[in-house]
Amino acid sequence: MTESNNQSDTNEYDSEHTRKGKFSPKEEITSENCKFTEGEVLRFVKVRFPGHARSYSFLVGDRTIMYGQKVIAMSDRGMAVGYINSFVYNLPFKQELLPLRSIKKIATEEDIADEKENYKKQKETETICQKLIEKHNLDMNLTHVEFTQFGKKVVFYFVAPSRVDFRGLVKDLVGELRLRIELRQISVRDRAASQGAVGPCGRELCCSSFLGKYGNVSIKMAKNQNLTLNYSKLNGVCGQLKCCLKYEDDVYSFKRKNLPREGSYIKTKNGDSGQVKKLNILSEQFDMLTDKGVIKSYVADEFEYEYEEGTYKFPRKFDNISHQTSEVIGIENYESQLKERRRAEFERLDQMAHNFAIDKISEVSDYLPERERSDMTKVEVAPEQVFEKRIINKSAPQDSSHNRSDNRGRNRRDDKHKPRRRNNRHHKKGQS
């Protein structure tokens, strides 16, 4: 799609929806001027502005939007050029979604050229601001500069340990640049998200790619996951604790509920008593030193109860401690229960996929003739059959001898159709 076609499509879209009274792309949709009804399906897309830590949702309407396409939209800093970083998705309208914003237009070649020109000015402006910061002796670190409102406004982003009085700096910047000036203090996480980087895992930072909210990350999450408390490994590019520490914390907290506390004195279902020495949270197992001086491994289901303080006397010293951790006590029952849980989960997922396919078929069938529509709705596959086929295909034995005989017969049949190769080893030149 060319830029001229994009511009014409945008103008037709703007005039059509303004004429219908739905909204104008130049204004924000609030509860006062909203004409959408409750439950009406709206099309949205995510837009990311350079130098911003997060993506923003914008209304698309009936326009054709491609991933990575540059558009002009209203950010919280003003009108700016951004790019589409998501596919179009539908949401039913609710009052909680207000206020809404829409994309003004697709960026033209002229808009992209202006953006490149502003990018060149950012380097010069950043140098000027850095010199003025040193002149006023301010305790602040300038991170990046952004031009908005088509080059009429400049936003300076900085990081500082405390509140900064930059009124004198603003006066000097206005006199030097002759533009509207805004200084905005951001956190170290926002700086890493806005500038972007590659994390220790080798992938783009979560905060600069998909993470919408940072959330609270504490050192307790690292302790909960039995991680080594080495801050050089726990801290991210921003110098704070990694956001990914929170991803699996709920799983560890859930599995810990079925396990005894590390260091506590417990009794198991097979009659052993002792002290818990080690927890394997993900596998739901624990190692216990029994009162007979033997270290054994148990599954979480073998834990019966914990002794109250002062009711159980554990030997202080053992002459010899033996290890019997090669076999996990209660693992047979645990694996059978786990297999049943996985089977139930597979059936649930198959049912979800089945329902999703039926819904999609019904959506597509609305655009088809009556005869083809009736044929599509007849096609149904039970989720139990899908699960059984999956198990049978994985567990079906294969007769290798039978397969080899079939291959030999197939090769003989194929050789009949191949042209015969002429043996020219004893053939002399000039002989027929």
CATH number at residue 136: 3.30.300
Q: Are residues 303 and 342 in the same domain?
A: no
**Of 182, 180, 175, 179, the residue nearest 158 (C-alpha):** 182
Q: How far apart are CA 10 and CA 383, in angstroms?
A: 45
Cα angle, residue 209 at apex, residues 91 and 122 outer, rounded to 5°: 110
pLDDT category at 85 given cuts 50, 70, 90 is: confident
Q: Are residues 296 and 349 in the same domain?
A: no
Share of the chain above pLDDT 70, in %: 77
120 is a domain residue: yes
Give 361-376 pLDDT, tens digit per residue. Answer: 766 666 556 655 555 5
Structure-model confidence comparison of residues 50 and 305, the more confident one: 305
54 is a domain residue: yes
Q: Is the pLDDT of residue 171 over 70?
A: yes
pLDDT category at 14 given cuts 50, 70, 90 is: very low
422 is a domain residue: no
Q: Are residues 213 and 179 in the same domain?
A: no
Q: Is the pLDDT of residue 308 over 60?
A: yes
Q: Are residues 90 and 179 in the same domain?
A: no
431 is a domain residue: no
Entry pTM: 0.63
Structural domain boundaries enclosing 175: 113-186
Q: Are residues 25 and 77 in the same domain?
A: yes
406 is a domain residue: no
Give 175-197 pLDDT, tens digit per residue. Answer: 999 999 999 999 999 889 888 88
Q: Are residues 44 and 91 in the same domain?
A: yes
Q: Are residues 18 and 81 in the same domain?
A: yes
How much is the pLDDT for 372? Answer: 55
**Cis amide prior to 161 (ω within 30 degrees):** no
How much is the pLDDT for 55? Answer: 85
CA torsion 227-229-233-239 (nearest 10°) is: 130
Q: Are residues 199 and 163 in the same domain?
A: no
416 is a domain residue: no
Give 339-354 pLDDT, tens digit per residue. Answer: 998 999 999 999 998 8
How much is the pLDDT for 16? Answer: 38
How much is the pLDDT for 389? Answer: 43
Number of domains present in the structure of the chain: 5
pLDDT category at 388 given cuts 50, 70, 90 is: very low
Q: Are residues 86 and 17 in the same domain?
A: yes
Strands 78-84 and 105-106, by their bridges, are unpaired
Q: Are residues 292 and 362 in the same domain?
A: no
Kindly state the average pLDDT of the residues 105-131.
91
Choosing from 186, 208, 237, the residue where a domain stops is: 186
Choosing from 88, 107, 126, the residue where a domain stops is: 107
Q: Are residues 346 and 319 in the same domain?
A: no
Choosing from 186, 210, 240, the residue where a domain stops is: 186
Q: How far apart are CA 57 and CA 93, in angstroms?
A: 13
SS (H, E, C) the chain: CCHHHHHHHHHHHHHHHHHHCCCCCCCCECCCCCCCCCCCEEEEEEEECCCCCCEEEEECCCCCCCCCCEEEEEECCEEEEEEECCCCEEEECCHHHCCECECCEECCHHHHHHHHHHHHHHHHHHHHHHHHHHHHCCCCEEEEEEEECCCCEEEEEEECCCCCCCHHHHHHHHHHHCCEEEEEECCHHHHHHHHCCECCCCCECHHHHCCCCCCCCCHHHHHHCCCCCCHHHHECCCCCECHHHHCCHHHHHHHHCCCCCCCCEEEECCCCEEEEEEEECCCCEEEEEECCCEEEEEEHHHEEEECCCCCCCCCCCCCCCEEEEEEEECHHHHHHHHHHHHHHHHHHHHHHHHHHHHHHHHHHHCCCCHHHHHHHHHCCCCHHHHHHHHHHHHHCCCCHHHHHHHHHHHHHHHHHCCCCCCCCCCCCCCCC
Q: Are residues 54 and 129 in the same domain?
A: no
58 is a domain residue: yes
412 is a domain residue: no
